[in-house]
């Protein structure tokens, strides 16, 4: 079963007025939807909601909703925050069956960057997808997808096929091997390489100028010696 239990209350009515009333009472308003049932306006004590939210195991995970003696497995799909105070303002829960296969986005984390030679050569990681949508049973949702950077080289493209997915997990996009990230030379490294190339070019140009100055002087000396040689 899910590790998090949300004790909810059913709100009277929907809309802005009902949501504001819930917030004034120290709760976070939300909506329960999905399955073959109608949406229900609910609320959760804000202190309890924050506590569960900051565990990192609320969003995108299987959660047990509890109302009185009734329980329902749900997925927390979205949480809206106040842009100024960062206070949770609203949330959405989706009804699921524990063994139901669902589509959900999970974060992608990159490890062993210090063991990747490309980064010691001035490479940088360009992330295309910070999350990947997967198809998985509701009770088997992974915490994250791991990309091991050890052994990758400069110019490598990391695709979904390069990620070792947990058992029972499939990418929601199944018709192509989509890109997740790539390793490219950083702009700073490019600038350093350009400066180095410019220095080398300048040094070569200077060397050529010195050589050009020395050649005519030698040739002129040879010509002078030839003129002073008596004939016959």
The two three-digit tokens of residue 3, written as one number:
């590790």
Predicted confidence at residue 2, as pLDDT, reads: 55
Mean pLDDT of the 50-65 span: 88
Give whole-number Cα distances, 145 to 73, 135, 140, 153, 209, in Å: 23, 13, 13, 20, 59
Q: The pTM is what?
A: 0.67
Give whole-number Cα distances, 56 to 60, 101, 134, 172, in Å: 9, 22, 19, 23
Predicted confidence at residue 122, as pLDDT, reads: 86
Give the pLDDT confidence of 109-167 residue by residue, as tens digits: 999 999 998 888 888 999 999 999 999 999 899 989 999 999 899 999 999 999 999 99
Mean pLDDT of the 87-109 span: 92
Q: Does domain 102-185 have CATH number 2.60.120.510?
A: no
User: Residue 138: phi, psi to the nearest 5?
Assistant: -60, -30
Give whole-number Cα distances, 88 to 57, 93, 97, in Å: 16, 14, 26
Band (194; pLDDT cuts 50, 70, 90) = very low
Percent of all residues in the chain with a pLDDT value above 70, rounded to a whole number: 79
Ranges of CATH 2.170.120.20 domains, the chain:
102-185
Ranges of CATH 2.40.240.10 domains, the chain:
4-96
DSSP 85: T
179: burial class by Cβ within 10 Å (0-12, 13-18, 19+)?
middle
Q: Thinking of the domain 4-96, which architecture would CATH place it in?
A: Beta Barrel (2.40)
């Amino acid at each position: 079963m899910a590790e998090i239990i949300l004790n909810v209350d059913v709100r009277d009515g929907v809309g802005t007025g009902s949501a504001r009333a819930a917030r004034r009472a120290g709760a976070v308003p939300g909506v329960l939807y999905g399955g073959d049932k109608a949406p229900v306006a609910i609320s959760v004590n804000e202190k309890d909601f924050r506590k569960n939210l900051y565990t990192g195991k609320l969003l995108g995970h299987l959660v047990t909703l509890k109302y009185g003696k009734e329980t329902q497995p749900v997925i927390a799909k979205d949480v809206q925050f106040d842009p100024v105070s960062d206070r949770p303002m609203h949330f959405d829960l989706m009804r699921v069956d524990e063994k139901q296969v669902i589509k959900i986005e999970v974060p992608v984390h990159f490890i062993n960057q210090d063991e990747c030679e490309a980064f010691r050569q001035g490479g940088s990681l360009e992330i295309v997808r910070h999350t990947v949508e997967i198809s998985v049973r509701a009770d088997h949702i992974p915490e994250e997808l791991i990309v091991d950077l050890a052994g990758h080289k400069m110019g490598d493209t990391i695709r979904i096929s390069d990620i070792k997915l947990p058992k029972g997990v499939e990418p929601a996009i199944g018709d192509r091997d989509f890109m997740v990230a790539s390793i490219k030379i950083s702009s700073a490294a490019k600038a350093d390489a350009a400066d180095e190339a410019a220095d080398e070019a300048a040094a070569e140009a200077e060397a050529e100028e010195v050589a050009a100055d020395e050649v005519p002087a030698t040739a002129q000396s040879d010509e002078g010696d030839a003129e002073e040689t008596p004939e016959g």
